[in-house]
């Protein structure tokens, strides 16, 4: 069974086997969590992302998929990049968000990662309502069969931390 932990703080400062990146489809860095991971992790992450782009992911990573690279200078072995869906009021895209967490755990299992730090995928600039993002994230990680022993949700602010911790109360 996977232990679920919540931390308010900076995901780039976590000492875990793998850090999940809320990436954009280009895999070439961006803002928010993605930009912070690329900046702190250094050029090694971008170099591996460019190799992925030159290979199988030439058109970019599709929403809901996940792929791993080195963690560069981060205190982790790997970064698992996943592309979250943009929230829509007119279309239910929740299965794509579920897929981000399931696929990240699948990649973690393939790597042999036992401790994984997750951000609140899609709950930033992609506009997913925080309470719903927390419900989907925690429920999916809790219900997915995995060899990961610890899933740590690293939340940037108090609102996100409260929304996520409420899911286990």
pLDDT in tens, 110-154: 999 999 999 999 999 999 999 999 999 999 999 999 999 999 999
Q: What is the mean pLDDT of residues 149-160?
A: 97
Please tell me the total count of domains within the chain: 1
Q: With a cut of 80, say whether residue 58 has pLDDT above it.
A: no
Name the average pLDDT for the chain: 96
pLDDT band at 162 (very low <50, low <70, confident <90, very high): very high
pTM over 0.85: yes
| 73 and 51 Cβ atoms separated by less than 8 Å | no
Place of tokens 């679920």: 4
Q: Which domain CATH number covers 141?
A: 3.40.220.10
Residues 6 or more apart in contact with residue 135 via CB below 8 angstroms: 167
pLDDT band at 168 (very low <50, low <70, confident <90, very high): confident
Question: How many whole angstroms separate alpha carbon 95 and alpha carbon 101?
Answer: 10
Question: How many whole angstroms separate alpha carbon 156 and alpha carbon 5?
Answer: 14
pLDDT band at 56 (very low <50, low <70, confident <90, very high): confident
Question: How many whole angstroms separate alpha carbon 111 and alpha carbon 18?
Answer: 9
Q: 16 lies in which domain range? A: 3-168
| 83 and 61 Cβ atoms separated by less than 8 Å | yes
Q: With a cut of 90, say whether residue 37 has pLDDT above it.
A: yes
- Helix extents (H) in the chain: 32-41, 43-54, 94-111, 130-143, 158-165
57 DSSP assignment: T
| 96 and 85 Cβ atoms separated by less than 8 Å | yes
pLDDT band at 69 (very low <50, low <70, confident <90, very high): very high
pLDDT band at 169 (very low <50, low <70, confident <90, very high): confident
Token pair of 45, please?
């992450």
Question: How many whole angstroms separate alpha carbon 53 and alpha carbon 59?
Answer: 7
Catalytic residues: 34
């Amino acid at each position: 069974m996977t232990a679920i932990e919540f931390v308010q703080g900076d995901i780039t400062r976590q000492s875990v086997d793998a850090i999940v990146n809320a990436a954009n489809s280009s895999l070439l860095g961006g803002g928010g969590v993605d930009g912070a991971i690329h900046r702190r992790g250094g050029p090694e992450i971008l170099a591996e992302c460019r190799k992925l782009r030159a290979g199988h992911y030439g058109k970019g990573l599709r929403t809901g998929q996940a792929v791993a690279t080195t963690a560069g200078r981060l205190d982790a072995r790997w970064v698992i990049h996943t592309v979250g869906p943009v929230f829509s009021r007119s279309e239910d895209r929740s299965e794509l968000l579920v897929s981000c967490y399931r696929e990240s755990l699948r990649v973690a299992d393939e790597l042999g990662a036992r401790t994984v730090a997750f951000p609140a995928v899609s709950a930033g600039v992609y506009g997913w309502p925080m309470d719903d993002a927390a419900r989907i994230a925690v429920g999916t990680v809790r219900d997915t069969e995995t060899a990961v022993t610890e899933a740590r949700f690293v939340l940037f602010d108090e609102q996100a931390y409260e929304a996520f911790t409420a899911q286990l109360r």
